[in-house]
Structure 1
Amino acid sequence: MTGAGSSIESVTAPGQNATLQPGTYEIEVRSEQGLAATSDNRTVTLTRRSTNGLTTYAGTEADRAGLGSAAAVRDAIESGALSRSERVTANDTVVYAVNASGLTGLPAARNATPETGADLDRLDGIEFGVRPSAGEDEVTANGANGEIPRDSTAHVDETGLYVVADGTDALPSDGKAEPGAEFTAAFRVTDDRLREASSDAPGGHRVTSTVTFVDPERNGPSGGADRIASGGPVGAARRPVP
């Protein structure tokens, strides 16, 4: 590490998956330039990461073009433009929000920060998809999650993952979903290092959210959607184990 403004991007640790264990670590930095030498040290505390849940948000007032970052999505949720929903219409903007800590290190380590659903689909280590709810027990057993929403965007930050799509693309039905059809969105951590650094139980690396498609023409402008009081999809951010 050399030069002004230098930073540590990764650390190689011993062990099967080269994962730092939770705890408090002291970091010491020494700089030498000619005859001058300076040093400094700091401490950093690492906690275990976790996968806590998946929530579907929807709304007709949210501007899809304005949801260009995780922070913008959270602002739309806090303002009420997006609300928790158990139903989705073709007129909605839909956000699948995964409440999970410690995800940012994976794309950074692979120099592959996802910006679109297609990028997310290519990122090995985490999986996201939406599929018809029929046969969910079989899906859970074989690990398949379904399809990434078409033309979706993806944002990953310290609070989790956000997948944003238009209502016509949010469900894998080619825009022909039948009213009353149920779909399940699922997120799963598959990377061994993320799983090892997790506080989750062995079966806790997969989370789901189920929504029902409704016809806005039949149920009114809001599609009769069950809009639940808005709120942040994640709790207080914690410093994840890399």
Structure 2
Amino acid sequence: MMLKRAVIFSFALVALFAIAGCNGDKKPKRGKNEVVVISYNVDADESTLINRGPLMTDLINTLYPDSVGFQEARPGWLHLLTKNLKDYSYVGVSADGSNPHPGSFGNYIFYLKDKYEVVLSGNYWHSDTPLIPSIYPGADCNRYCVWAIFKNRKTGLMYAHINTHLNWLPNKKATEAGARMVRSMADALSEMGIPVFVTGDFNDGENSNTYKIMTEGIFGDSKFLTEDTMNVGTYPHYGD
């Protein structure tokens, strides 16, 4: 994916496997100003770690993205990711802050640590008190966002990556409030003159106001910005 300002919605796993099969153990070659960003909701249930975990991290190591936005990564998932993705470091905390309980899920951004340095990073919650772990009135649980600005150690090229997980339906007000906060951060980072990627589980469809908030103006959906625009679902029974 060439560097551009874009909202990156969750990739379908089937599409990722189709790409992964072509590279084997070789790291993919990319242009000087090319950046690859991936979104992946690992699904908080840690009972799938043994079977799904190694396959998923093998896939990431094959695709070798510059950064990955993970959602629903409970402590067990975070441990596996840090163990198996050896070329990566990460930024982010759990939905409950820096002291998660065993069931806390989290949004994290993993990035190639030798290729990039973190210029700035942070977290904020989708609530009336965004600087502390908290919940929006009527939301299902703590929802929040992690963001970072990365700088290529060799070229000096910078880009921003925002990763989030919006409120689950049916509370549209909470979902849209979270989207507005994410969009506000994306707009602020864009004003710095750097490309901005937004990944996440947005818990809403293309005909929703949430989608409109995220994609209006200078931002767009990578589904329509990329050359390959296959209509592939992003969760089981998509479109049913």
Q: Which has the higher contact order (CA 8 A, sep 6+)?
A: 1
TM-score range, shorter chain: under 0.3
When the two structures are superposed, what TM-score results if normalisation uses the length of structure 1? Answer: 0.28
- Structure showing the higher strand proportion among its residues: 1
Structure of higher CA gyration radius: 1
